[in-house]
Amino acid sequence: MANPARTLSAASRSLYTASNPFKKSVAPSHHISASSSRTILRSTQTLNLIKSRFQSTATAASSSTTTAAAVTAPEIVVKPIVGWWMMTISAMTFGIVVVGGMTRLTESGLSIVEWNLIKGMKPPRSQAEWEEEFEKYKQFPEYKILNHGMTIEEFKRIFYYEWSHRMLGRAIGAAFILPGLFFAARGMLSKNIARRSLIIGGLIGFQGALGWYMVKSGLDEQLMQTPGATPRVSQYRLAAHLGSAFLIYTGAFMTGLKVFADYSISKGSYESLRSALNNPALKRFKGAAHGIVALVFITAISGAFVAGLDAGLVYNEFPLMGGRIMPPVKELFDSHFLHKDDHPTLGLWRNMFDNQVTVQFNHRVLATTTFTAISSLFLYSRGLPLPPHVRLGVNVLMGVACCQVGLGIATLLYMVPVSLGTAHQAGSLTLLTSALYLMHSLKKIPIVNKIPLK
């Protein structure tokens, strides 16, 4: 391509020569006639005009090219089989959360006192193996304080709860690693999905280590020297363990939904919904949906503290607590929970996580707040122009919230039976699923000309 500067320079010389045919014989400038001066001036103005238009055209062309590249840049999406892989991981995580709840409610979590990734896969088979495993259990505080006199048949029952929980964890790891390696080797993962997968895989590995770290807190021999101590895992570690499981579930579930949605967009399935979902009138509603997800998650984590402290076994009534809206302040902020070096006032925050009464009260307040927020969102949605699938998501969220509140009240009134407690924990993850789906269904649909499959 010709250099614009050289082109303009040549044009200048040409025009100047044309307007000065006797250039070589022209005298110095003070001898040039007035007519020639006017001609030179007009030529210079013409050159400036040409140069200005040339630069304007070049700038416009460059801007147009950049804009077109931004709008039409294709987004790489992956095939739906990757989405089904992620949905399988999320379903298995849902299952292990439920089994984990049963393990906690049946007080089976401390029945296996060691961690062996490979060897631990095989349960005892012969009578001698069972006797050996039972003898290991007898060396720790739970047997000595709570289960002294337990028979070997009773031990087998709690052993299989914990063993099933651990085996399901191993199965999740295998279900993630093997297909993940296959998809990566075949180049079936986009950069975005590969990045998400690495994060989820890291969380799965972390979750396994965190699970054993949690169990170790209930095997501490120091419990034998603590007056009135109950052998159980730390409520802090239990909450971290549950929170990590919820994060794995959320990551896998949302990644699966993204894969399916991107594939549908690439086929033009969402064209009719673009204007409805991109409506500015839904901006506040979308923000509220994100807030609901956060509230559900926080409420579920507060429930882990209730489970870890057996706080569901106090104040088994609703909506009052001991005939009052809230327990006495002395019960909520009991100085008994202060540590030796704590400030007498600031140290009272420990009640928020260590005091059964305070922990249950917090969970009630958070649950009520979450239910009120969901109800408000449901009523607010009645006046909005929502697409059918978003309307369905709001209705399902409201229905699941009602069921979860009912399960929570029943669990409290009946002093946390295994069946209701397990159903309540499953309900918390079901409620989170409903909130996540609603949040996902409200995402704006991008404008792209073509989305190639990978």
Q: Do residues 203 and 93 lie in contact, with contact meaning Cβ atoms separated by under 8 Å?
A: no
In whole angstroms, what is the distance from residue 375 CA to residue 380 CA? 9
Name the percent of the chain lying above pLDDT 90: 67
| Angle, in degrees to the nearest 10, between helices 418-441 and 235-266 | 40
Closest residue by Cα to residue 241 from 352, 87, 349, 99: 99
The verdict on whether omega for the bond into residue 231 sits within 30 degrees of 0, i.e. cis, is no
Q: Do residues 264 and 446 lie in contact, with contact meaning Cβ atoms separated by under 8 Å?
A: no
The stretch 72-95 carries a mean pLDDT of 87
Neighbour count for residue 318 (Cβ, 10 Å): 13
Name the percent of the chain lying above pLDDT 70: 81
| The residue type at 117 | L
Closest residue by Cα to residue 105 from 302, 248, 312: 312
Please state the pTM of the whole predicted model.
0.82
Q: How confident is the model at residue 165 (pLDDT cuts 50, 70, 90)?
A: very high
> Tell me: the pLDDT tens digits for 376-429?
999 999 999 999 999 999 999 999 999 999 999 999 999 999 999 999 999 999
SS3 per residue for 359-425:
HHHHHHHHHHHHHHHHHHHHHHHCCCCCCHHHHHHHHHHHHHHHHHHHHHHHHHHCCCCHHHHHHHH
| Maximum separation of any 2 CA atoms in the chain, in Å | 127
> Tell me: the pLDDT tens digits for 309-351?
999 999 999 999 999 999 999 999 998 888 878 887 788 899 9
Q: How confident is the model at residue 27 (pLDDT cuts 50, 70, 90)?
A: very low
Query: Looking at the predicted structure, is the pLDDT value of residue 173 above 90?
Result: yes
The stretch 3-7 carries a mean pLDDT of 46
Structure tokens at 138: 């007898």
Distances (CA, A) of 364 to 298, 354, 369: 12, 16, 8
Mean residue pLDDT across the chain = 85
Task: Please tell me the least confidently modeled range out of 21-25, 242-246, 292-296, 428-432.
Answer: 21-25
Distances (CA, A) of 381 to 255, 290, 400, 440: 26, 14, 17, 16
